Chain A
Amino acid sequence: KNEVEQSPQNLTAQEGEFITINCSYSVGISALHWLQQHPGGGIVSLFMLSSGKKKHGRLIATINIQEKHSSLHITASHPRDSAVYICAKIFTGNQFYFGTGTSLTVIP
Chain B
Amino acid sequence: DAGITQSPRHKVTETGTPVTLRCHQTENHRYMYWYRQDPGHGLRLIHYSYGVKDTDKGEVSDGYSVSRSKTEDFLLTLESATSSQTSVYFCATAGQNYGYTFGSGTRLTVV
Interface residue SS majority, chain A = strand
Interface residue SS majority, chain B = strand
How many interface residues does chain A have, given as a range? 20 to 34
Q: Is the CB of B98 within 8 A of A94?
A: yes
Q: Does chain B have a CB within 8 A of A45?
A: yes
Q: Known contacts A41-B105, A42-B104: does B98 contact A101 (CB below 8 Å)? A: no
Q: How many A-B residue pairs have CB under 8 A?
A: 56
Q: Is the CB of A43 within 8 A of B31?
A: no
> Nearest residue in B to A90 (C-beta to C-beta)?
B98
Q: Is the CB of B104 within 8 A of A86?
A: no
Q: Is the CB of B42 within 8 A of A33?
A: no
Q: Known contacts A98-B43, A99-B42: does B90 contact A43 (CB below 8 Å)? A: yes
Residues of B within 8 A of A (CB): 1, 31, 33, 35, 40-45, 50, 88, 90, 94, 97-102, 104-105, 107
